[in-house]
Structure 1
Amino acid sequence: MRSNRAAAVGAVTMSLALAVSACGGGSSTDGGSNDSPKTLTYWASNQGASVEVDKQVLQPELDKFEKQTGIKVKLEVVPWSDLLNRILTATTSGQGPDVLNIGNTWSASLQATGALLPWDAKNFDKIGGKDRFVDSAIGSTGAEGQDPAAVPLYSMSYALYYNKKMFADAGISAPPTTWAELIADGEKLSKDGKWGLSIEGSNPSENIHHAVVFAKQHGADFFTADGKPAFTSDGAVEGVKQFVDLMAKDKIVAPGNAEYAQNQSVSDFAKGKTAMLLWQSASSNLKTQGMSEDDFGVAPVPVQSGAPGTGDSVNSMVMGINMAVFKNTDNVDGATEFVKFMTSDAEQKILNTAYSSIPPVKTAQADAAFNTTANAVLKDTLAKSAVAAPQVADESQFETAVGTAIKELFADSAAGRAVTTESVKAALEKAQQQMPTK
């Protein structure tokens, strides 16, 4: 059932475009603090096409919360380019918000700072219980064996988006299910100034998401069981090379994509410049840019062979946004009440509809709004074939080091320099040397 408010947010959805990813970094500034125990400060991540669009989506819901509880929420929407460093500055200074959104891949790193409220059984009971949330989302809330550092708010997964008309014109009857098929299709589609696939080669976060998946498909992890970096294992090297080779060897990605860092690949796909796109929950973004649901199809990200699943057939990271509470808040009860409100079934339907994401709350997922063909692919991926980011304390450093190494490999490819097994291994070795020593 959709309320009038949900319908209104659905209209706002037409002006939304998802942010590039659930991770980021940039410059830092001072955080806010409470004006009074009846006021909460909230840093929201930029999920929409702009900060202003996010305010249009969120402010009516915050007003609703104030009407219900008497607690005012002061909203600041923080761009992804600033969010991680803003948070890290707040964890060391103690001058942060009461409640904040975090990229779920940062959960273990921020948990290790000790600045976030642990979500033990008692705290989860205050918001209806831990078992309300799907397992894949809970698996991206902190290190295994510890109480979660955050609560899932929005869930996303990667999918393969493809242009139906371009496929039909090239005589391709179905989306590829393996990388070999994707390359073969990409070669047919890369002609007349158009390209088979678009990527964001200059975006370290996007690079990491794909690198984790490609490594998994080669039987590798970037960290050992005891949390030590293993960036130069054969599988990790093979996985990163296969990803970069989409441009370097297979030549189905435009060399200019080596400089893409902020939604340009989505824009190229929406404009018909490329026929395929690997992206997180992109339907709302694409519709914002003029594509109708009839223009594009949504399929699982390809695997090496067979069907997506666990083990070597993982085809996405578990992406999304978590909601955390700073431990030093003056109003733990109010902050917890706000998390309960934002993760309620009603709000989950409104917010995830607006952002074209999937509710991490089981009962909200059952709503008809999340049972479209596109969402079925995303939900199935999250349930069956997605893997959490490495839940290690140094995960954010890993994203920066390896993501930047891959960015440099794409730059080599675009400049005509050879990308070899040896050069990939050397780049990953350099990245591993940048990791903190224990």
Structure 2
Amino acid sequence: MRSSSTSSRLLAATALVAALGLTLAACGGGDDDSSGSSGGSGKAADPGSLKGQTITYWASNQGTSLDNDKQVLTPELDKFTASTGIKVKLEVIGWADLLNRILAATTSGQGPDVLNIGNTWSASLQATGALLPWDSTAFSTIGGKDRFAPAAIASAGAAGKDPAAVPLYSMAYGLYYNKKMFADAGIANPPTTWDELVADGQKLTKDGHYGLAVEGANGAENIHHVFTLAKQRGASWFDDKGAPTFTGPQQVAAVKQYVDFIAKDKIAAKGNAEYVQNQTITDFASGKAAMMMWQSAATSIKAHGMTPDQYGVVPVPTQTAGATGDAGVTSMVAGINVAVFNSTKHKAAAEAFVKFLTSTDEQKILNGKYGSLPPVTEAQSDPAFQTPDLKVLAGVLQKSAAPLPQVANESQFENLVGPAVKDLFAEAAAGKAITDDTVKAALVKAQQQMPAS
């Protein structure tokens, strides 16, 4: 997730990449020895020939802090080095900075060999030519494309093109609810429709506690939820040619419904309009809010002292009960992909590292520690991923999740509409009326700033 404070810089970097039509990428880390290049043979390089090389790895913040990520990853990287002789220089980058760093690397020629990316960025970064295409030859070096869940592969690049990255961690949104707060309010079951959620939320909003917590200043969270709410209305944010369709009535209705949790329904605290970095989890785990919509949150909830028996997880509501098809979409296909910069000087070493990260054993370890789901299907049967909450989220990925638009301008969409929703939340918190016209004006402004398809 990213704050909107970097939006202008991200847009500038993205626009520069598009304007120059760049197909080059960041130089790989380590020394200048190019003997590790695989040459596209489709065969994994002899580990002995890679010994002594150093690759750089930009990891995304998956744990409770950057230091926590280092604690999780360092012993695994040491394991990789011990088995291959390849050293890994690790940098963990927070979500507020990651896309900005990546876009800057595509233009400066200074970047890592291997990096994590949010899967929603796959098509945008693919369009720059900065990332190694994972064609059948590249996939053969890590065991083949069919090892990965189809939904995860669908969020790795534009349709009809070779994926720009490889799925690493899979996640989905669920509705988390506090069992005791529901029982105390006389609510027998969690909501399945939005009308039920608002009604339940209003019963739960009292004495300084709220029915729902949202992350109003978090642009990525805003995008994820308005994507789902629009999808449930049969609408997308881009047409079939990749042109933005931000101002349609269904898109306006989706944004208004989300902002109304503060504006009209008043089931989320006004202070939520300023939440940008996981404060939602703190409010939920502390009992300040009875519900939240979040991605694979078990590890973070536990870190805040809440035990699994104290909460339940169900799919996010739909507009009508039992909805199917687009109307039944309850989550974007969430997740993290791992990519290789196309001009790395250590291609074989980078591919060997991706093979390690996506090996069945390592998938069990890393996803188990982070509370996410393995996109490698062979790892999914491990008992660690059969907990009640993860089984619900796995079902969401299989049955009711859809990928965000895999178009070249997706990152600009995130960095324009996400902050627009943030501003609407801020207006709602200040007591200003949020109407269809208010929302449409914000979306018109965002669409006017979009570059040509």
TM tier, smaller: over 0.9
Q: Equivalent residue for 1:145?
A: 160
**Among candidates 306, 314, 322, match of residue 307 of structure 1:** 322
Alpha-carbon distance in 1 for matches of 2:169, 2:3: 10
**Among candidates 60, 72, 76, match of residue 45 of structure 1:** 60
Q: Equivalent residue for 1:10?
A: none
Contact 2:314 2:392 in 1 (8 A): yes
Q: Equivalent residue for 1:16?
A: none
Is 1:33 matched with 2:29?
yes
Deviation readout 1:196-217 (Å, 9 max, x if unpaired): 0000111111000000000011
| Paired residue secondary structure (2:365) | helix
Q: Equivalent residue for 1:413?
A: 428
Alpha-carbon distance in 1 for matches of 2:443, 2:157: 25
**Among candidates 194, 210, 234, match of residue 219 of structure 1:** 234
**Among candidates 324, 331, 335, match of residue 316 of structure 1:** 331
1:358-397 alignment, distance < 5 Å: 358-397=373-412
Q: CA deviation at 1:24?
A: 9.6
Contact 1:132 1:363 in 2 (8 A): yes
Q: Equivalent residue for 2:263?
A: 248
1:66-215 alignment, distance < 5 Å: 66-215=81-230
Q: CA deviation at 1:308?
A: 5.7
In structure 2, what residue type is equivalent to 1:265?
A: T
**Among candidates 267, 273, 279, match of residue 294 of structure 2:** 279
Q: CA deviation at 1:239?
A: 0.9
In structure 1, stretches of 5+ residues that fail to align are: 1-19
| Paired residue secondary structure (1:192) | coil
Deviation readout 1:23-51 (Å, 9 max, x if unpaired): 99577999872235511110001111111
In structure 2, what residue type is equivalent to 1:307?
A: G
Deviation readout 1:143-201 (Å, 9 max, x if unpaired): 11110000000000000000010000000111100001101100100011110000011
Alpha-carbon distance in 2 for matches of 1:182, 1:65: 47
Is 1:296 matched with 2:321?
no
Deviation readout 1:40-83 (Å, 9 max, x if unpaired): 11000111111111111111111111111111111111111111
Alpha-carbon distance in 2 for matches of 1:185, 1:78: 38
Q: Equivalent residue for 1:7?
A: none
The number of aligned residues is 419
Contact 1:269 1:277 in 2 (8 A): yes
TM-score (norm 2): 0.90
Q: Equivalent residue for 2:444?
A: 429
TM-score (norm 1): 0.93
Alpha-carbon distance in 1 for matches of 2:130, 2:446: 27
Evaluate the alpha carbon distance shift between residue 141 and residue 298 of structure 1 in structure 2; reply closer, same or farther with a 3 A threshold.
same
Alpha-carbon distance in 1 for matches of 2:297, 2:27: 31
In structure 2, what residue type is equivalent to 1:155?
A: S
Displacement over 3 Å in runs of 4+: 20-32
Evaluate the alpha carbon distance shift between residue 101 and residue 121 of structure 1 in structure 2; reply closer, same or farther with a 3 A threshold.
same
Deviation readout 1:387-419 (Å, 9 max, x if unpaired): 101101111110010011111111111111110
Alpha-carbon distance in 2 for matches of 1:264, 1:341: 33
In structure 2, stretches of 5+ residues that fail to align are: 14-25, 37-52
Contact 2:246 2:443 in 1 (8 A): yes
Evaluate the alpha carbon distance shift between residue 336 and residue 73 of structure 1 in structure 2; reply closer, same or farther with a 3 A threshold.
same
Q: Equivalent residue for 2:413?
A: 398
Contact 1:248 1:419 in 2 (8 A): yes
Identity of aligned residues (%): 62
Over aligned residue pairs, what C-alpha RMSD do you find? 1.8
